[in-house]
């Protein structure tokens, strides 16, 4: 059909969806390009898409020495020889990935293997890149020959712009991206996450499939539309689409019986057959409707997850790799929660800490009901987990992202600190995790005899500030400022402590208050979100435990 048709099996393509109208792309403005990519301006014109891809990829900043088409022509015969391309063994770094055919003809399918082997020869630093076969198969559709496809893929792999992440090329980068995706699911797909936790023994293993959904299972027309936007906007688009896929899976499959040993296969099958329920346009519409973290914030989260993996010594894929944690039953004992309940809590915490085991720091059964002893046993640990069982058999708690030692900055005054990773939750009588909110006006809170007014005052503060009004504040709530040398003025406040009380602004209008004697507590609840209260408005504490995270 055109000069880019060499590797395409047009009998398998929906030719009716292709437009023969002559189109040109003359704009260079990034904002306009984003809009055109999202709208699918070049999606129905095979030749135009090929030209757009060539233009976008040629503008990627690369290493000084990046292999080009001439390099491919020089090395392909030496590397491949006279071997049948269909029988060529693939390098280990593709991790036995699917090689999607994407309506390629026999020559195109063989070319995928040849290009992979030549890339392995030119990029010895690639150690893990399961998305590569899919990317090559897609770009062959829009290449005049193998050498041109090779050059385009090399430019993507050799991108040296630190702010422009494209394809993961190491196990550390891949695994941290899976952890980051798990963090994003936990925040933006809570209904789907709750389902995954209920039916899967290892929910993080399910989320480790997220790149396979995109680069392997999605039909050609879908991944091409995603790739259109990816080349303009970058890696964040992949997270968006994977979240949208999970949302649609939950919508379609909610209420249907699912088994833990088949959930991964169920999601893969849903993605493969997505055309039965969701169009490419609807998928992208859903993806861009998600109010995702900023690119900078996602980058910081990825860095934090990489650091956690490095500290655990997890940098390469092993034959029996299980970096994801299920709380070890033989080493865990709590008077408040079961192993199953602790595992549920573990599924909510940031992925980089889910690599750790729980460590009991304080319990009122052993250390007594003293706030000063609570502080002395909790300080020096970050993060911590607070568990409370009331005399009415209610069980609730809070994940606290910041060291309680931070409260000392306020002297004797009630000192507010913490990050947006804080949250409160309820386990009994029903399980509920409450989304985080910001305490914007700590001056409204007071100490001493006025502590009984905290609930009413902070409730109005919390409900009015669940979403930061200034976009520039969106980076700060999620990760601690000092971890990334951010200006102190960006730090938000979610925890408070003094010698008189503890306050945790947990989310969805929920706040938890504990008195100094650790015998009594109160909650505030804003009905804006129609959630059930954390627990009784006023309650007596039966047992309180504080847990840390052990490497």
pLDDT in tens, 310-343: 877 777 765 434 444 557 767 789 999 998 888 8
Helix/strand/coil (H/E/C) assignment for every residue in 494-524: CEEECCCEEEEEEECCEEEEEECCCCEEEEE
Token digits for 299? 């980058």
Task: Give the whole-angstrom CA distance, residue 495 versus residue 371.
Answer: 15
Task: Give the whole-angstrom CA distance, residue 176 versus residue 305.
Answer: 5
Q: Residues 174, 145: contact at Cβ < 8 Å?
A: no
Write down the residue that tokens 């063989």 correspond to: 110
- Distance of alpha carbon 236 from the chain centroid: 10
Phi and psi for 252 in degrees, rounded to 5?
A: -75, -40
Report the chain's terminal Cα–Cα distance, integer Å. 59
Tell me how far CA of residue 234 lies from CA of 169, 227, 461, in angstroms. Answer: 15, 9, 37
pLDDT attached to residue 466:
34
Strand pairing of 538-550 and 520-524? antiparallel
Q: DSSP readout, 428-490?
A: ESS-EEEPP-----GGG---GGGGGGHHHHHHHHHHTTSS-SSGGGSSTTTS-GGGGT--GGG
pLDDT in tens, 72-90: 999 999 999 888 877 788 8
What band does 491 get if pLDDT is binned at 50, 70 and 90?
Answer: very low
3-state secondary structure of 92: helix
Task: Give the whole-angstrom CA distance, residue 82 versus residue 46.
Answer: 32
Mean pLDDT value across the chain? 81
pLDDT attached to residue 259:
63
Top pLDDT among 285 and 21 is at 285
3-state secondary structure of 547: strand
pLDDT attached to residue 262:
83
Top pLDDT among 319 and 71 is at 71
- Distance of alpha carbon 221 from the chain centroid: 25
pLDDT attached to residue 154:
97
pLDDT in tens, 363-393: 999 999 999 999 999 999 999 999 999 999 9
Tell me the sheet residues that pair with 389.
395, 543
Give me the mean pLDDT over the 483-511 stretch.
Answer: 62
Task: Give the whole-angstrom CA distance, residue 128 versus residue 126.
Answer: 6
Lowest mean pLDDT among 402-416, 470-484, 500-514: 470-484
Phi and psi for 330 in degrees, rounded to 5?
A: -70, -20
pLDDT attached to residue 478:
43
Count Cβ atoms within 10 A of the Cβ of residue 225 and give its class: 0-12 exposed, 13-18 middle, 19 or more buried: buried
pLDDT attached to residue 476:
32
pLDDT attached to residue 542:
94
User: Which residues make Cβ contacts (< 8 Å) with residue 87, sequence separation at least 6?
Assistant: none
Instruction: Give the torsion sign (CA, 126, 130, 131, 133).
Output: positive
Q: Give the containing element (helix H, strand E) for 37.
A: helix 30-39
Domains of the chain: 1-162 (no CATH), 170-318 (1.10.472.80), 339-441+491-550 (no CATH)
pLDDT attached to residue 473:
33
Indicate whether 361 pLDDT > 90.
yes
104: which DSSP letter?
A: B
Token digits for 353? 């800490």
Q: What is the pTM (predicted TM-score) of this model? A: 0.77
274: which DSSP letter?
A: G
Task: Give the whole-angstrom CA distance, residue 516 versus residue 498.
Answer: 9
Q: Residues 127, 157: contact at Cβ < 8 Å?
A: no
Token digits for 198? 């209920």
Q: DSSP readout, 357-390?
A: EEEEEEEHHHH-S-HHHHHHHHTT-SSEEEEEEE
In terms of phi and psi (left: phi > 0; alpha: psi -120 to 50; beta: otherwise), the region of 97 is beta
Lowest mean pLDDT among 184-188, 311-315, 384-388, 512-516: 311-315
Indicate whether 23 pLDDT > 50.
yes
Contacts for 50-55: CB closer than 8 Å, 24+ residues apart = 50/2, 50/4, 50/141, 50/142, 50/143, 51/25, 52/25, 52/228, 53/139, 53/142, 53/152, 53/231, 54/142, 54/152, 55/25
């Amino acid at each position: 059909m055109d000069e880019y048709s060499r590797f395409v099996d047009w009998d398998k393509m929906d030719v009716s969806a292709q437009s023969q109208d002559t189109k040109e792309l003359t704009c260079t403005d990034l904002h306009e390009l984003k809009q055109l990519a999202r709208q699918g301006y070049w999606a129905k014109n095979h030749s135009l898409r090929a030209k757009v891809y060539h233009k976008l990829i040629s503008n990627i900043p690369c290493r000084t020495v990046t292999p080009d088409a001439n390099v491919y022509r020089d090395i392909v015969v030496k590397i491949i020889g006279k071997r049948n391309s269909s029988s060529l063994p693939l390098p280990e770094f593709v991790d036995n990935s699917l090689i999607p055919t994407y309506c390629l003809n026999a020559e195109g399918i063989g070319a995928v293997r040849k290009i992979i082997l030549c890339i392995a020869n030119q990029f010895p630093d690639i150690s893990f890149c399961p998305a590569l076969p899919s990317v090559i198969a897609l770009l062959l559709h829009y290449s005049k020959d193998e050498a041109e496809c090779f050059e385009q893929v090399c430019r993507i792999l050799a991108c040296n712009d630190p702010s422009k992440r494209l394809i993961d090329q190491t196990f550390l980068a891949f695994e941290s991206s899976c952890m980051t995706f798990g963090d994003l699911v936990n925040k933006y797909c809570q209904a789907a996450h709750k389902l995954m936790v209920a039916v899967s023994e290892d929910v993080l293993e399910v989320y480790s499939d997220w790149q396979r959904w995109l680069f392997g299972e999605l039909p050609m027309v879908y991944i091409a539309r995603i790739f259109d936007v990816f080349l303009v906007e970058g890696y964040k688009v992949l997270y968006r689409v994977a979240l949208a896929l999970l949302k649609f899976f939950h919508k379609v499959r909610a209420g249907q019986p699912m088994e833990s040993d088949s959930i991964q296969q169920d999601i893969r099958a849903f993605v493969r057959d997505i055309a039965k329920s969701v169009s490419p346009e609807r998928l992208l519409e859903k993806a861009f409707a998600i109010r995702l973290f900023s690119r900078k914030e996602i980058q910081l989260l990825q860095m934090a997850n990489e650091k956690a993996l490095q500290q655990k010594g997890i940098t390469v894929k092993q034959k029996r790799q299980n970096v994801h944690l299920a709380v070890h039953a033989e080493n865990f004992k709590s008077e408040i929660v079961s192993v199953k309940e602790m595992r549920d809590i573990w599924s909510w915490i940031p992925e980089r800490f889910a690599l750790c085991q729980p460590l009991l720091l304080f319990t009122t059964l052993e250390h007594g009901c003293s706030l000063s002893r609570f502080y002395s046993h909790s300080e020096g640990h970050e993060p911590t987990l607070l568990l409370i069982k009331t005399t009415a058999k209610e069980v609730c708690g809070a994940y606290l992202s910041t060291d309680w030692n931070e409260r000392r900055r306020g002297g004797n005054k009630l000192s507010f600190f913490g990050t947006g990773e804080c949250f409160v939750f309820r386990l009994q009588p029903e399980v509920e995790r409450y989304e985080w909110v910001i305490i914007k006006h700590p001056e409204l809170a007071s100490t001493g005899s006025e502590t009984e007014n905290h609930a009413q005052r902070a409730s109005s503060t919390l409900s009015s500030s669940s979403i930061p009004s200034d976009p520039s504040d969106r980076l700060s709530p999620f990760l601690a400022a000092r971890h990334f040398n951010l200006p102190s003025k960006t730090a938000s406040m979610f925890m408070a402590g003094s010698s008189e009380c503890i306050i945790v602004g947990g989310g969805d209008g929920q706040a938890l208050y504990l008195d100094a004697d650790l015998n009594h507590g109160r909650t505030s609840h804003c009905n804006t979100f129609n959630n059930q209260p954390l627990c009784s408005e006023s309650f007596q504490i039966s047992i309180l435990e504080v847990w840390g995270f052990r490497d």
